[in-house]
Chain A
Amino acid sequence: MKKPVAPFLLLVFLLLFPLIFTGEYYQHLMILVLMWVAIGTGWNLISGFTGQVLFGAAAFFGVGAYTAALLSSKLGLSAWWGLPLGGLVSVAIAFPFGWICFRLRGPYFALATLALNEIFRHIATIWESLTDGMIGILVMQTFISKIPYYYVALGIAILSVVSVDLVMRSRWGYYFVSIREDQDAAESMGIDTLYYKMVSLALSAFLIGIAGALYTNYMGFIDPKVVFSLHDISIMAILVGIVGGVGTIYGPTVGAFIMVAVQEIFRTGGFGALHAIDKATGWPFVAVLAKYISEAHVLSFGVLVIIVILFLPNGIVGDWRLIKNKFVKSQKPLG
């Protein structure tokens, strides 16, 4: 079998990245990309490969983040313990949740995960004696430089992609895809569909929970609105999966690059281009546009999803051949 070259080249690039691009801003963006690789890959396991749409990735992300933060603020331990523990606490929530809610199929399950997301956001907000509510939790950062965080994030991203790749080649992988393709057929083939959906969700929750703990360590501050955010975490996770390619190993990796870039372009008004135009020309509408565009990044997500679903229903990785053909065809005259 031919080994794909692209992932290997990407890995080399990522290993050398902080040595080439020493600007803190670019390193920060790349840490976010790597974090989203882990979240997107986790999301893809349960939603892309097993076919159970997870609309509440933020539930596991936030639980992982709060596990790390509470270890530090309540127990005085290093928040880095949150990496393994945040993953495990997420699993501890995913398992019983799956046992109850995997009796629901299709959109009903998706809605249940949305509810899980909201439940945890409210718990974190209301239980002030534990979480300090909306005030949030501050954690002392370990490093001043971004580079250690970068390599931890890279390690987590690699862990998630490699582990999902391994799982998908195993018996579990066959079972997950069978469940996605036809649950009744899978059940009559002797597959305990309830149990294997729980296994898949637990693995996803583990990866997403670790990413949440990384976020706490890296950002040094969390509050319920940020880590349990529906649009910035849960929906972003879905977008990373859909744009990159649902049910492909490297799809979420590609999706993470694109989505973090899109988010950043909107947040900064085209990397500050709009502000520069505003300053240079003094046109008042540019200033207004800059203000609204940075607030409208969620709207841009919607537009992007429509475009992807219309033209690349299998995502960029899933429809790569289609993209390549289009590109090649445009160079060759027809006939």
Chain B
Amino acid sequence: MAVLLDIASWALLSIGGAFVFIGGVGALRMPDLYTRIHAASLTDSVGAVLVIFGVMLQAGASLAAIKLAAILLFLLWTSPTASNALASAALLAGLRPGATVASQEERGE
């Protein structure tokens, strides 16, 4: 049983880590701000959720698991909200989706 839990926990941790890595690469490589926000939000939604589930399996039924659940709930509330606030602030500032690639190349970025 303990071995199964360990395997499940490590699988969750690795998949979560992979998502964090993909999110990091995407935040650097995506062409404009909105796609970058999309990639970065992957990090703290799917990635963080999987990692916390993995750590919860390691913690077992204890106070630490409840604290991790509270952290998970907090992350699920805040990180999509932060992504949304960032994207709508960019939209309000006049940055149009899809129109930035050409202008960035003109500026030589």
Say if A and B assemble together: no
Listed in ascending order, the chain A residues whose CB lies under 8 Å from chain B are none
Listed in ascending order, the chain B residues whose CB lies under 8 Å from chain A are none
